[in-house]
Chains A and B, each alone.
Chain A
Amino acid sequence: MAATGEPILEVRHLVKHFPLTQGALFRKQVGAIRAVDGVSFELRRGETLGIVGESGCGKSTLAKLLTALERPTSGSVRIRGREIAHARGAELKQVRRNIQMVMQDPYTSLNPRMTVGDIVGEPYEIHPEVVPKGDRRRAVRELLEVVGLNPDHADRYPHQFSGGQRQRVGIARGLALRPEIIICDEPVSALDVSIQAQVVNLLERLQDEFGIAYVFIAHDLSVIRHISDRVGVMYLGKMVELGADAEIYDRPVHPYTQALLSAVPVPDPEGRERRQRIILQGDPPSPASPPSGCRFRTRCWKAREVCAEQEPLLQIRPGTAHASACHFA
């Protein structure tokens, strides 16, 4: 599972602003939601990068940018050196073969009026060059088998499957084109607890078998820790800390990461009375009008004047081995 070689996915200064408009007939822009505001990272072959953050931090927009479902306002996304952020038509279609996704909700991500076999086989109809026509049925059966579903159920409809099985169908669809990168946007958060482990294990096995690299986006810090080689923490459109999983979880330096980690309930009641917990006050500010300087400063107990004036950059700071965006790290 170890990451090797040069990056296959390079994200540079990625920005996505959604304009806020007013007026029914003649729209004029009155502001912008700064959903993703300058995010950079790399992903290597066979590696898992976990992206963690709370609602509104921009992680789902990031997933859409990486899969070219949204066009960035600025910045670049390169897959094996090919820019996808501005690719169109046949070129975009080609790049998409190499970056696929698994979505959060297994109930809405499968067309209820298509059979599971047709859903998993659709990638081959869109990209007919991948598997010759005569072999597609066999390829679909193989895919279903790989993700642990009975291939004889290919003619059933999604509603005849449980949530966990549907998520396997979604994974099979993502695997069909043999991509090197799969973006997983909250792939287990809609599933029952006892099913989550099955899907996590499946994703790990597929990574070992096919050398896939994952960008694994989730709000569940425990799942992220389990599956990730490296972890990025997002807050209000910015990456505030990025590094190897052990660095982030055992030696977090950004106050937000520290608060986030301390808020996660540990499934062990021993010593719970002594557990130190940082309770953040209030809610995150609106991404339409983020605070000046450091975006976390309005909830931060370390905030000083400099935090309002200067934006801390995501960089490796003295005394740490990983990048963080805090003046006092």
Chain B
Amino acid sequence: MWRSTTPAARGGAGPHDGPLLAVDDLHVEFVTRQGVVKAVNGVSYWLNPGETLAVLGESGSGKSVTAQAIMGILDTPPARVSGGRIRFRGTDLLKLREDARSQIRGRRIAMIFQDALSALNPVFTVGAQIGEMFRVHLGDSRREAHRKAIELMDRVRIPGARQRVHDYPHQFSGGMRQRVMIAMAIALDPEVLIADEPTTALDVTVQAQIMELLAELRRESDMGLILITHDLGVVADVADRIAVMYGGRIVENALVHDVYRAPAHPYTKGLLESIPRVDRKGRQLSAIEGTPPNPLDMPPGCAFTPRCSYRQDNCVADVPPLHRIGPTRGSACHYWREVLDGSHG
């Protein structure tokens, strides 16, 4: 196998005593006809080697935009990174020139998407597309790339890889296509893999297969995994830590066990109480009233205020900072103590 070097042995972009990847006070705006949309408003999170970080949020929460900013694949314009740092092994990616960034993109930080069909080129065989990674980044010969493509397809457990390497994307089922995407993403042994809703379009039995595969791949290497999802079940299943996003901000981050045991932000708490569970028949769901904020028209102060049962007058005026409430835990709620107490009680 070509997996001969550990990420650390390959040498980083600089000294890296800190986390593998750290997003620090990131701001992203979209300039639209209706005005400037602040999609990401000071997001900070970090990822350690070998760790799975779940970024949980609904549509419009900014979770995917943050990931695209890390990858450097935002459409600019209309998007614009208006502040913050993204440090990868200590180096601020936002300060790098485009050629230096493209050395990292796909090679050391890779990404898979929800819609595998549109992410694959319909007119090339999957073998050619996987092999392309080796030909472009490593300058491998056609024959060598072909051999490695088959090896990779084996590794993501596509049955009959030797034959299927010649098939086109439309000949694969949704789950197999997602495996092809994963194969391309892990081709160059990335140090960070970002998975943006990788199973949302898939059936539950196929979802289980894909999540199992991702977990195995992560165990095999020291790769850090950022799992972007809206599914509290998937998070509980695989994540080590969680960052909950709402209205372009992180509202809570914590170890996964802590959050499910006792959420420290009203939004997280509301979400956990509002979802039905397959393992027990509950009574009426306690829904979060109202709707997620319109990014064009963000409420002042804390974005969750209009829907929050803990709200007080100052919530409208002051944006709550991410209070540090434990060594690995933060909550962006003025009343996190009350929320925590309520959760325990």
Contacts and interface: CB of A to CB of B under 8 A. Distances in A.
Q: Are any A and B Cβ atoms less than 8 Å apart in their complex? A: yes
A157 to B, nearest CB: 16
B236 interface: yes
Contacts of B292: 162, 192, 194-195
Interface in B231-252: 231-237, 239
Interface in B215-239: 230-237, 239
B208 A55 contact: no
A245 B204 contact: no
Contact of B281 (A54, A192, A225, A259): A225
Interface stretch (B14-22, B89-97, B183-191, B270-278): B270-278
B145 interface: no
A285 to B, nearest CB: 11
Interface string A227-264: 10000000000000000011001000000000111111
B65 interface: no
B59 A192 contact: yes
B284 A266 contact: no
B256 interface: yes
Given A197-B288, A267-B232, A222 B277 contact: yes
Interface stretch (A121-129, A275-283, A316-324): A275-283
Q: Is the interface of A mostly helix, strand, loop or mixed?
A: helix
A267 B260 contact: yes
B261 to A, nearest CB: 8
Contact of B208 (A268, A272, A279): A279
A72 interface: no
A258 to B, nearest CB: 11
Interface in A206-235: 219, 221-223, 225-227
Contacts of A259: 205
A196 interface: yes
A309 interface: no
A98 B54 CA distance: 46
Contacts of A152: none
A270 interface: yes
Interface in B300-325: 307
B236 A200 contact: no
A117 interface: no
B209 interface: yes
Given A193-B232, A194-B270, A267 B277 contact: yes
A142 interface: no
A272 B230 contact: no
A261 B176 CA distance: 22
Q: Is the interface of B mostly helix, strand, loop or mixed?
A: helix
Contact of B237 (A165, A223, A272): A272
A134 interface: no
A277 B208 contact: yes
Given A270-B257, A279-B209, A282-B159, A265 B276 contact: no
B131 interface: no
B162 to A, nearest CB: 17
B114 to A, nearest CB: 14
B208 A263 contact: yes
A194 B58 contact: yes
Given A54-B205, A201-B284, A270 B175 contact: no
B274 A196 contact: yes
Interface string B272-297: 10111111011011111101100000
B341 interface: no
B314 to A, nearest CB: 24
Contacts of A194: 58, 267, 270-271, 274, 287-288, 292, 307
Contacts of B175: 283
Contacts of A221: 204, 278
Given A192-B292, A282-B159, A283-B206, A245 B281 contact: yes
B32 interface: no
Contacts of A164: 291
B212 A219 contact: no
A269 interface: yes
Nearest to B207: A263
A100 B175 CA distance: 34
Contact of B277 (A165, A227, A266): A266
A204 interface: yes
B207 A266 contact: no
A159 to B, nearest CB: 13
A223 B287 CA distance: 13
Contacts of A249: 278, 281
B203 interface: yes
A194 B267 CA distance: 9
A192 B58 contact: yes
The 4 closest A-B pairs by CB, nearest first: A265-B233, A226-B276, A197-B287, A197-B274
Interface of A: 54-55, 162, 164-165, 192-198, 200-201, 204, 219, 221-223, 225-227, 245-246, 249, 259-270, 272, 277, 279-280, 282-283
25 contacts: A54-B206, A55-B174, A165-B291, A193-B231, A194-B288, A195-B291, A196-B274, A200-B285, A201-B284, A201-B285, A219-B204, A222-B276, A222-B277, A222-B278, A264-B233, A264-B278, A265-B233, A265-B236, A267-B232, A267-B272, A267-B277, A268-B236, A268-B260, A270-B260, A277-B212
